[in-house]
Amino acid sequence: MRIGMPLLAGCAAAAMIVSAAERSTVQAPGIAFNPERYACLRAKTPLRIDGVLDEEAWVQAPWTKAFVDIEGGLKPRPRFATRVKMLWDDGFFYVGAELEEPHVWATLTKRDSVIFYDNDFEVFIDPDGDTHNYYELEINALNTVWDLFLVKPYRDGGPALHAWDIQGLKSAVAVRGTLSDARDKDQGWTVELAFPLEVLKETLPGKKLPAAGDVWRVNFSRVEYRVETGGGAYKKAADTKTGKPLPEDNWVWSPQGLVNIHLPEMWGYVLLSGESEGGAAGEFLASGDEGAKWALRKVYYREWAYRNERGVFAGDLKSLGLADDPELKAAGAGSRIAIRISESLFEASLPAPGGANWRIRQDGLVWKD
């Protein structure tokens, strides 16, 4: 339900003890809110999905910025370059990715394997931007895919529907080198994906097909392991003390500020453009709605931190330490945010132009009534 749920008028006077099992895993990002933006051109004709990004529509499409560490500027830049292009038409949302890689390898061949146990490329799509009901796809250099549907982010209780498949998905990989052969060095691999709009529209209001001017929340991730070579084969590099594989690197288009890709509010903005050429990214997002949504998101982070510490939610911005927050003031939100709480629920609201309200609740869902 998207309407505000009934809440109790107040909360227990004495703070409850929150057990380890009850403590929330909600964390605020460690970087400023500044998602990447991309104007997605419209392809004039359907694309041939072969893993090679050489068609004229791909030539016209701009590349994203090179990927960064998932924590953003808090960590060094990635060892290898990764970048993406996007297109769309009446039938599909297209993604083309280029991954620099001197050692292209993959082992998993069964669909819906846990693909990030290999080096992989991942796509996350939230068409309506409410941070719930979004799509995830992972693919390795063998063109093996794992597609999931997330009802909610894991921090908000999930679940992830692993048995769900993207009906009509098209995917292809092209390796520039020799796959899983450590006797030489490779250039990398490219990925080409076509997501059917008939599937992606399922989470849009009224299940209407996407249209020019729509803005989605999208992100891309790359999992990369350090490897050792020997006898022409690859194996994951191991910690010399424990013998266990070294932790993987996580490189993304729009940084999260945490080692957690499931923060949809930090994903990039993708505009479905009506143009088939030109159109610079970064110019299209002028709506004040995003500032309002971010102001409420800050309340959400603080509410969970407050509850983890004190056992209850807070009923006002002062208690949350947000009464003088500069970002809330910049969004014109400071004194206009109202919070209702019970022992286990909260809802914060902020008036929007036209008499509506933006709202957020304890499971992170954000919506306009």
Which of 245, 272, 299 represents a domain boundary (last residue)?
A: 272
Question: Which ranges of the chain have pLDDT less than 50?
Answer: 1-15
**127 & 218 share domain:** yes
Q: How many CB atoms lie within 10 A of CB 135?
A: 22
User: How far is 33 from 27, CA to CA, in rounded Å?
Assistant: 14
**4 & 54 share domain:** no
| Residue 194 belongs to a domain | yes
CATH of the domain at 136: 2.60.40.1190
Q: How far from 363 is each of 187, 297, 359, CA to CA, in Å?
A: 43, 11, 12
| Residue 13 belongs to a domain | yes
User: How far is 122 from 49, CA to CA, in rounded Å?
Assistant: 17
Residues above pLDDT 70, as percent of the chain:
91
**351 & 245 share domain:** no
pLDDT at 14: 40
User: How far is 93 from 7, CA to CA, in rounded Å?
Assistant: 40
SS3 category, 174: strand
pLDDT at 332: 80
pLDDT at 23: 77
| Residue 277 belongs to a domain | no
Q: Render pLDDT for 305-329 as a digit per residue (tens, 0 to 9).
A: 999 999 999 999 999 999 999 989 8
| pLDDT mean across residues, the chain | 91
pLDDT at 13: 38
pLDDT at 135: 98
**22 & 47 share domain:** no
**148 & 234 share domain:** yes
Alpha helix stretches (DSSP H) within the chain: 56-60, 197-200, 289-310, 317-320, 326-330
Q: In which element (H, E) is residue 369 found?
A: none
**245 & 320 share domain:** no
**Enclosing domain of residue 119:** 37-272
| Residue 91 belongs to a domain | yes
**105 & 123 share domain:** yes
pLDDT at 276: 86
**Reported pTM:** 0.93
Contact status, residue 101 vs residue 81, Cβ threshold 8 Å: no
pLDDT at 304: 97
